[in-house]
Amino acid sequence: MDEIIILEDLVKIYDTGAIKVLGLNRINLSIKRGEFVAIMGHSGSGKSTLLNILGCLDRPTLGHYYLDGVDVADMTQDELSRVRNKKIGFVFQSFNLISRMTVLKNVEVPMIYAKLGPAKRRQKAAELLEQVGLGARINHEPNELSGGQRQRVAIARALANDPPLILADEPTGNLDSQASVEIMELFAKLHQNGSTVVVVTHEDNIAEYTHRILTFKDGVLESDRINESPTPVSDNVGLGSRKS
């Protein structure tokens, strides 16, 4: 496996005027293509700052961030926007779905920005929703679904443009325990199918689904360990056949 993410001496400083806050302090890190990784840490540890940089939502103050072989640290906002749409699928704690739009239309949104034609968008969105177990709910609006179902829609949307990297920010934070298991099993299945999946969480039981756990404290990578015994995944989880 080659590296999809390489960070070299990465620093993030927040300048609030009179006070400068060190968000990340000289992070050196690589993540191989196809890895399933958890990023952990208490509030203020730097994990959210790191995810924002990995997702090209923010830029480092110093250092380099190579995404899929390209240094994105000094890209313009327009360039970063194109990278996000093509290379990264996001899953957020709050789902970030458009409430007055059907789940099918929600999944189509990234493909609109990618300039995919309407017929192909609809077909692919329906296929993705089928793969996450929502094939019968494509014409429902988000408020007609449970929290776990809405997160499944968000996962389908994240996969819309076949990104090589999936980033999930506290994806189980608003879910009950059963829905959390189902969502983490979907991420595990994505990993089994070859996707690179990075999950930010503060919950040990969620991190245990992953194969590598990074722990941050005060902007520093405190530990980096391989999880020798990831939580096993049921055989009947969806996403058995990803379609481009």
Which parts of the chain sit beneath pLDDT 50? 241-244
**Residue 199 in 3-state DSSP?**
strand
pLDDT of residue 74: 84
Angle at 198 between CA 227 and CA 74, to 5 degrees: 130
Task: Give the containing element (helix H, strand E) for 89.
Answer: strand 88-92
pLDDT of residue 1: 58
List pLDDT tens digits, range 58-81: 999 999 999 999 999 888 889 999
**What are the structural domains, with CATH classification, of the chain?**
33-60+71-226 (3.40.50.300)
